[in-house]
Structure 1
Amino acid sequence: MQYNRYFLAGAVCSGAAALLHLLCIVFGASWYRFFGAGERIARLAEAGSLIPAVMTLAIAALLSAWCAYALSGAGVIRKLPYTRLALCAIAFIYCFRGLAFPSLIFFFPENSSLFWALSSSISFGIGLLHVLGLKQMWWKL
């Protein structure tokens, strides 16, 4: 069986992002800082607060669900409920995150220009993978 390579690549990216979020919980403040969560979150983690871990766990769960939907769109796992709608929303969110960074910078001034350039490019790229997957698989979803 041949799987849709765009959704498969998108699934790998979302799965990797989920794993990195979980590793931030495990390795703490230095990882939160490195991946751009901001100094406030890093300090909360250093202080032993559960807030960063709970927030990060929620993000990891969402990214894992996105991974599952991309695997469903790729044909690797069974079709999940509302697959087409979910994949459209996921593609939109990734692309929006990639393009919205000029507005987001003001809410997170402690993040570097390099962080914004890299994270926005990666997000937009993952969004494009989903868009290309949707284009190829639209009538099969």
Structure 2
Amino acid sequence: MNKWLLSAGFITALISILHIGIVIGGAEWYIFFGAGSEMAKQSEAGMIEPVITTLGIAFILGMVSLFTFFAAKRKGKLSLINFLLYGFAVVMIIRGLVGLPLVYLVAHPYFNELAARPLFMIVSSLFCLSLGSIYLVGLKNRRSRNPYR
């Protein structure tokens, strides 16, 4: 069993559940977790868009977590699982590396909100960078044990 991928899958599952909690928590949770004031206003107004967006993210993270658990246990063959998990790892690492500079270099209302919260941006960037790295280590360990997977 690949402990790195198992850990990554567990963390990703928790993030998925957190997104469901954001929908339940409402506007204050949207703001706290960096979704921005526009999403919070839409949530307060009872609009469906923030719910669909957030639950869509939760679903995608849940599926990535499920695929990661399959990869960690080496059971079953899922088409393109390595491609999917490497892609997710790369997205997380790019977010971790580019997120902080982006909010200071691009003039956009949402980025301006995030620039006013440097601690959030630093913590979330380090988190994304760490999670992506855990995925890469787990995938490397998986490949080194069985190069045909």
Query: 1:136 and 1:20, CA in 2 relative to 1: closer, same or farther beyond 3 A?
Result: same
1:125 corresponds in structure 2 to 130
Q: How does 1:80-99 map to 2 (within 5 A)?
A: 80-99=78-97
Aligned runs of 1:1-141 on 2, under 5 Å? Answer: 3-75=1-73, 78-101=76-99, 102-105=101-104, 106=106, 107=108, 108-111=111-114, 112-138=117-143, 139=147, 141=149
Identity of matched residues, %: 30
Any idea what the Cα deviations from partners look like across 1:15-72, whole Å, max 9, x if unmatched? 0111010011111011111111111111110010101000001111111111012112
Amino acid at match of 1:134: L
Structure 1 length normalisation: TM-score?
Answer: 0.92
Distance 1:65 1:140 in 2: 23
Number of positions where the alignment pairs a residue of Structure 1 with one of Structure 2: 139
Matching residue's letter, 2:71: G
Match of 1:42, SS state, is helix
Q: Which amino acid aligns with 1:15?
A: A
116-125 vs 74-83, which moves further = 74-83
1:76-131 deviations in whole A, cap 9, x for unaligned? 65332211111111111111111111124534211210111011111110100110
Mapped partners of 2:18, 2:140: distance in 1: 29
Q: Structure 1: 5+ residue runs without aligned partners?
A: none
Instruction: Name which one, 1 or 2, has greater alpha-carbon Rg.
Output: 2
TM-score normalised by structure 2 residue count: 0.87
- For structure 2, the 5+ residue unaligned runs are none
Tell me how far apart the structure 1 counterparts of residues 88 and 123 of structure 2 sit (CA, whole Å): 19
